[in-house]
Amino acid sequence: MKPTLSTRLMMVIWALTTLVGLPVLVACSPAPVTTSPPAVPTATPRVVAPTSSPQIVLPLVTGGDATSETGMPSALPTRPLSVETATATGQAVISPLPSPTPGADGLSPGGRGLPPGSSAPDFTLESAQGGRITLSDYRDRSSVVLVFYRGQT
């Protein structure tokens, strides 16, 4: 059993040595425990490896800046935004359209009646109570209220 264990140990150590390198063999050997300090230099190359990864990250960041400078990321959002703006503009254009439509149906040119500030067109009409009524005959009054009736109301 003991030879088997040692053989397995040897194989593991050999495999580790082949894959990782000499420092593992040194660290695994029971006798040179003092050589564990040399394991620190082993850590040093490992530190180098992480140091290299930040170096890789940095060029990535630089690449991101480069793309932003190119305008690639800004161009992508700008296009959908412009589409949304166009859609909003289309809705804004559509909404005013219904309001002219009733005016277009009517025969009156004003659409919403004569606005305040315009002079009231004078008229003379027959009154249901008899006689003829002229608007300008009421100039001596403070005001005249013209009420347009509908139907028989």
Partner 1 sequence: MDLQSHYQDFQARDSQILALAVHNLTAAQRVAQLTQAPFPVLADPDHAVAEAYGVYNLLGDHIATPAVFIVDSSGEIVWSYVGQSAADRPGVETILENLPPE
The answer for residues whose C-beta is within 8 angstroms of residue 114's C-beta and 6 or more apart is 120, 121
Taking alpha carbons only, the member of 117, 14, 146 closest to residue 24 is 14
Report 111-130 residues binding partner 1 (CB under 8 A): 111-123, 125-129
66 touches partner 1 by CB under 8 A: no
Are the beta carbons of 74 and 68 closer than 8 angstroms?
yes
Between 51 and 153, whose beta carbon lies closer to partner 1? Answer: 153
4 touches partner 1 by CB under 8 A: no
**At residue 132, what are phi and psi to the nearest 5 degrees?**
-120, 140
Instruction: Report in angstroms how near the CB of residue 95 gets to partner 1 at its nearest.
Output: 16
**At residue 102, what are phi and psi to the nearest 5 degrees?**
-65, -35
Are the beta carbons of 24 and 17 closer than 8 angstroms?
yes
Instruction: Report in angstroms how near the CB of residue 89 gets to partner 1 at its nearest.
Output: 26
Report 73-112 residues binding partner 1 (CB under 8 A): 102-103, 105-112
Site size with partner 1, rule: CB under 8 A: 45
Instruction: Report in angstroms how near the CB of residue 74 gets to partner 1 at its nearest.
Output: 46
Q: Is 82 helix (H, G, I), strand (E, B) or coil?
A: helix
Between 87 and 124, whose beta carbon lies closer to partner 1? Answer: 124
Query: Residue numbers of the site for partner 1 (CB under 8 A)?
Result: 102-103, 105-123, 125-129, 133, 135-136, 138-153
